Amino acid sequence: MSDQLKTRLIQIGLEQALVDEILNNGRLMKVRQDMPLISPGMKAEAMPMVISGTLRIMREDEEGNEIFLYYLEGGEACAMSISCCMNNMMSQFKAVAESDAELWMVPMGLIDQWMAKYQSFRKFIIDSYQERFDELMQMIDSIAFMNMDERLMKYLLDKKQSTASFEIEKTHQQIATELNTSRVVISRLLKKLEKEEKIELHRNRIEVL
């Protein structure tokens, strides 16, 4: 398992000494599907790096309305958690395990040191920050400028990509909740997509063509 992480970290371009430090100082955390990792208002004490599985990152308001932002997949780090920790702030995000997942939790205290000590780590963090930022911008675009049917299609394609599978095992209600709309709307749009032969509908399952 930690071999898997090790090769991944080296692939990313981190030097051996740093990889060793990461391996020696983090801890493994296994999460089961649908387990919440963090909610707004909580404080993160470690930065998660995804070894396997995927995390779903969402925004959530006080009433429990939520909106899907992006997925974190194998090899990616939740760089956003750094900003909230460094400034001793509360999390602005909600993270849930989209599938069973293995995470490598790196204590925040070390992030600072490593950024100073290893230029490869600084680059890694800045790059992943950039990626998250880009995804957030995409999400703003899609919420502000796209119609619900385009948003839904984007959602389906995102999901397909993140799981490398054409099968999406979710109910219309779950999708509606993540996109912060109603089930009826999703059902109708999905039906339309099915007529356009972009997807196939089954109970609890959607097949992207």
Partner DNA sequence: ACATTAAGTGATT
Partner DNA sequence: AATCACTTAATGT
Candidate ranges 9-17, 28-36, 137-145, 147-155; the one touching DNA (CB under 7 A):
147-155
What are the structure tokens assigned to 128, written together? 């992943």
Kindly tell me the sign of the dihedral angle through the C-alpha atoms of 141, 143, 145, 150: positive
Candidate ranges 12-20, 89-97, 132-140, 197-205; the one touching DNA (CB under 7 A):
197-205
Verify binding: residue 201, DNA, rule CB under 7 A.
yes
In angstroms, rounded to a whole number, what is the distance separating the alpha carbons of residues 195 and 24? 53
Please list the helix, strand and coil fractions of the chain in percent, rounded to the nearest 5, in that order.
Answer: 50, 25, 30
Candidate ranges 42-50, 89-97, 110-118, 186-194; the one touching DNA (CB under 7 A):
186-194
In angstroms, rounded to a whole number, what is the distance separating the alpha carbons of residues 55 and 35? 10
Cβ 88 to DNA, closest distance in Å?
36
Closer residue to DNA, CB minimum distance, 3 or 62:
62
Closer residue to DNA, CB minimum distance, 7 or 65:
65
The site that binds DNA (CB under 7 A) totals a number of residues, namely 20
Verify binding: residue 22, DNA, rule CB under 7 A.
no
Binding-residue pattern over the window 63 to 82 for DNA, x denoting contact by CB under 7 A: --------------------
Verify binding: residue 27, DNA, rule CB under 7 A.
no
Cβ atoms 101, 50 nearer than 8 A: yes
Kindly tell me the sign of the dihedral angle through the C-alpha atoms of 113, 114, 115, 118: positive
What are the structure tokens assigned to 65, written together? 């309305």
Among 52, 110, 171, 207, binds DNA (CB under 7 A): 171
Residue count of the chain, please give it: 209
Candidate ranges 12-20, 61-69, 117-125, 171-179; the one touching DNA (CB under 7 A):
171-179
SS3 state at 168: strand
In angstroms, rounded to a whole number, what is the distance separating the alpha carbons of residues 137 and 203? 33
Which residues sit at the interface with DNA, rule CB under 7 A?
147-149, 171-173, 180-185, 187-191, 201, 203-204
